[in-house]
Structure 1
Amino acid sequence: MSNAQAFQMPRWMDLVLLPLWNLLVALLVAGGVVLLIGESPLQALSILLNGALGNARGLGYTLYYATTFIFTGLAVAVAFHGGLFNIGGEGQATFGGLGVALLALWLGHRLPAWLVLPLVVLAAALFGMLWAAVPAYLQAWRGSHIVITTIMFNFLAASLNVYLLVNWLRPAGSMSVESSNFADGARMPALHQLAEKLGLELPSSPLNLSLVLALLACWFVTWFLWKSRAGYALRAVGSAPQAAHYAGMNPRLQVLIAMGISGALAGLVGVNEISGVQGKLTLDFVAGAGFTGIAVSLMGRNHPLGIILASLLFGVLYQGGVEVSFELPRFSREMVVTVQGLIVLFAGAMAMVSAPMFARLYASFKRREAARG
């Protein structure tokens, strides 16, 4: 049942008005925190927006962060439509990055870029899918709870990444816990590099062609969930498993499909971060993006269009927050994280707290309308 049905309000209120209200409340609370430390909320907001959107370099960083959040937000959304709560985006993205690194180190020097880059994308998706398939199997055939197993698999993926970097992938004699640099052919091209080849000038930023991949992933998820028979079956099982079973659908298979696609989407974070930016496998390159994806998906109402908008919002917060910490002396990096957390809390985790109020207002409006007419 959708939020609009549960609280008896129209779809436009659920998808547009309610998220905007939650964001406004979040910004007011965050502004109160800024005021308590002796800074101007309006000045902080102006610096944040200017740093994230006011110039080409800042916009490049904002879109780079948004790209990662699109992948993790879509991962959460697909699993949610299948009736599952995937908390394992961190681990699946880490394992996807491991797949990128292994393929890039193995074939990067042997194959041309036009061939190795699609293989890098495929490796990221497959590794993320495989890492998600194990909790899916445990849920479907062994009754283990998907939330518990995916959380534990986050730690397993991080530990495996550390082990491989320290013992196998780190170059001999190097003190840095990171792999060798990839060949240029295994690097996802940055947009400013592509612009330079076309005779255009863009300031350098980590934004790369993974943004196009993220938008294609949004198109695929939209088509799969609402246009394909397989997507209809997945949503049916997610909404009513028993009814779907009586209709001839296999709930266990749908758990595997939902988690497989979810893990593949999360694994694509490795393309953006490892192939597109780092150019080598590093520790903790996901940096909490898997958990941010949960808030992105909730705020975007588990729809690709909403996820794009929510990802842009969080991209602005991440990039603009850095600028605010530079410009305002009392606004430390910890305060940036605090404000970001408040916005995640009110605009994401508490997204439905205000829904009953809007439902009552809408019901009152409908009663008055009926009385007049």
Structure 2
Amino acid sequence: MSDRVPGAASEPSGLPPEQLPAASGPLTGQASAEIPPAPRSNQLMREILRGSVVTTILAIVASMIVGGILIAVTDEDVQKTAGYFFARPQDMLVAIWQAVSGGYYALFQGAVVNPGAHTFTAFILPLTNTLGFAAPLIAAGLGVALAFRSGLFNIGARGQILVACATAALATFGLDLPMWIHLPLTIVAGIVGGAVWGAIAGLLKARTGAHEVILTIMLNYVALYLVRWMIRTPGLLQKPGSNQPISMATPESAQFPSLFGAQFPLLNWGFPAVVIATVIVWWLIEHSSLGFRLRAVGENPHAARAAGISVQRMYVYAMLIAGGLAGLAGMNQILGSVTSGFGDGIDAGIGFDAITVALLGRSRAWGTFWAGLLFGALKAGSFNMQAAQSIPVDIVLVVESLIVLFIAAPPLVRTIFFLPKDEAERSARKRARLAKARARDDEKKAVAS
């Protein structure tokens, strides 16, 4: 069956994918009415990704408020002043203000700029750390976002990162090449490794109909134990002359050069590579015919199939590209952040954080980019919060988790901030009531006949 969408060759993004059956020429009248609705998983993802910008901002605000409450509750001064609150309530209020404002100021100081620095290097260092932490999050988040837009829940970024790192190390770490050959070759090897691992899940989904969530989770475990075996086996990935479970070091000719000098250790040329990847993914999803087909499958695979799109092939393409982007995230790890050798924890939770980044970015390329910067800032600032204010890093992790919770439940955010119900939500509920009424009428007619 052809992949070509009628009417989409000249303007692939001009027609909303959900209108494919009506715009596909021969599919009119009774044929169009017989197309089944989109699967529930596709509908749920579409509802989550179509939230408004206001809802997204308020979700972040609500998460920061809850984080502030946690900071106050765990602060020792607040706990002490709570013992005589009714005698001198102002003491407790002052302690709460100092704990919360001090914590978030330390977060800002560690993630954006350091106002108390005496040199420009120290002043701007927090921002460069944020960009360095954000690079792999953005790359992996783009892969998860692209899969989401195709109607797939890609939970396998961790395994794709691990396999990408192992593939790059096996293929290129033992080579002696000039940097202008060695570095691109290593990046390509890693991207290919991640892409192949992602394509396995897409192929199994396409050929057997197995659910991609189960496939990607299980492939995470396969990748974890495979890489763990490799870094424990001499002659494969284990560091020569060592009996520890760690890989050989990244060759100097395969490392990302520093972007602005050694005084900014976390910011290297991996970040511009991620910016380029963001532009490519944005163009691919929003302005290419392949992206149009991927979005059509994400909206309703039944309608996409009726319009002449090979749904199975789109599943493979989506997971192939998603795995390659996760592989780029892995390359940011072993070619920039960790160059002395890596273990089975090289993914550093990025594979699962990428899901949060993609959800916060509404699975749009540039939305994912800015969401990755936000989470990079939270990660960079959390260390300063712990050092300057003795606030556990876990509180920042709670804030990140709450962002996901609020993003996935827009009605909850609107209820908290007393916002009016979304028009789309009201329309969906009205359609659901009408559908139930029609079902009851049909049932009564069937009984009567």
Which TM-score bucket, shorter chain as reference?
Answer: 0.7 to 0.9
Map of 1:367 onto structure 2: none
Question: 1:341, CA displacement in angstroms?
Answer: 3.3
Give the superposed CA RMSD.
Answer: 2.3
The SS at the match of 1:138 is helix
Question: 1:333, CA displacement in angstroms?
Answer: 3.5
| 1:116 equivalenced with 2:197 (yes/no) | no
Aligned match for 2:412, one of 353, 364, 372? 353
- Aligned residue pairs total 346
- 8 Å CA contact retained: 1:100, 1:274: no
Amino acid at match of 1:278: V
Map 1:1-373 onto structure 2 (within 5 A): 14-38=51-75, 40-54=99-113, 55-107=123-175, 109=176, 111-167=177-233, 168-193=236-261, 203-279=263-339, 280-329=341-390, 331-346=391-406, 348-350=407-409, 353-354=412-413, 358-360=419-421
- 8 Å CA contact retained: 1:191, 1:208: yes
Aligned counterparts of 1:136 and 1:129: Cα–Cα separation in 2: 10
Q: Which has the larger radius of gyration?
A: 2
Would the alpha carbon gap of residues 102 and 42 (structure 1) be closer, same or farther in structure 2, given more than 3 Å must change? Answer: same
User: CA offsets, 1:212-267, max 9 Å, x none?
Assistant: 11111111111111111111111111111111111111000000001100110011
Aligned counterparts of 1:149 and 1:264: Cα–Cα separation in 2: 17
Aligned counterparts of 2:336 and 2:273: Cα–Cα separation in 1: 12
- 8 Å CA contact retained: 1:85, 1:147: yes
- 8 Å CA contact retained: 1:53, 1:62: yes
- 8 Å CA contact retained: 1:104, 1:182: no
Q: Using CA pairs below 8 Å that are at least 6 residues apart, which structure has the higher relative contact order?
A: 1
Question: 1:358, CA displacement in angstroms?
Answer: 4.2
- 8 Å CA contact retained: 1:178, 1:282: yes
- 8 Å CA contact retained: 1:71, 1:214: yes
Question: Where does structure 2 lack aligned partners over 5 or more consecutive residues?
Answer: 1-17, 19-42, 76-95, 114-122, 425-449
Aligned counterparts of 1:361 and 1:171: Cα–Cα separation in 2: 56
Would the alpha carbon gap of residues 351 and 259 (structure 1) be closer, same or farther in structure 2, given more than 3 Å must change? Answer: farther
Aligned counterparts of 1:74 and 1:34: Cα–Cα separation in 2: 32
- 8 Å CA contact retained: 1:325, 1:336: no
Using the aligned pairs only, state the percent identity: 33
Question: 1:344, CA displacement in angstroms?
Answer: 4.2
The SS at the match of 1:155 is helix
Aligned counterparts of 2:396 and 2:302: Cα–Cα separation in 1: 45
Amino acid at match of 2:172: A
Would the alpha carbon gap of residues 50 and 100 (structure 1) be closer, same or farther in structure 2, given more than 3 Å must change? Answer: same
Aligned counterparts of 1:163 and 1:6: Cα–Cα separation in 2: 41
TM-score by length of 2: 0.72
Amino acid at match of 1:292: D
The SS at the match of 2:291 is helix
- 8 Å CA contact retained: 2:106, 2:389: no
The SS at the match of 1:17 is helix
- 8 Å CA contact retained: 2:359, 2:404: no
- 8 Å CA contact retained: 2:156, 2:198: yes
The SS at the match of 2:232 is helix
Aligned counterparts of 2:267 and 2:60: Cα–Cα separation in 1: 26
Question: 1:317, CA displacement in angstroms?
Answer: 0.8
User: CA offsets, 1:122-150, max 9 Å, x none?
Assistant: 11111111111111111111111100110
Aligned counterparts of 1:6 and 1:344: Cα–Cα separation in 2: 14
Aligned counterparts of 2:303 and 2:60: Cα–Cα separation in 1: 37
Question: Where does structure 1 lack aligned partners over 5 or more consecutive residues?
Answer: 194-201, 364-373
Map of 2:88 onto structure 1: none
The SS at the match of 2:231 is helix
TM-score by length of 1: 0.86
Would the alpha carbon gap of residues 63 and 148 (structure 1) be closer, same or farther in structure 2, given more than 3 Å must change? Answer: same
- 8 Å CA contact retained: 2:255, 2:335: yes
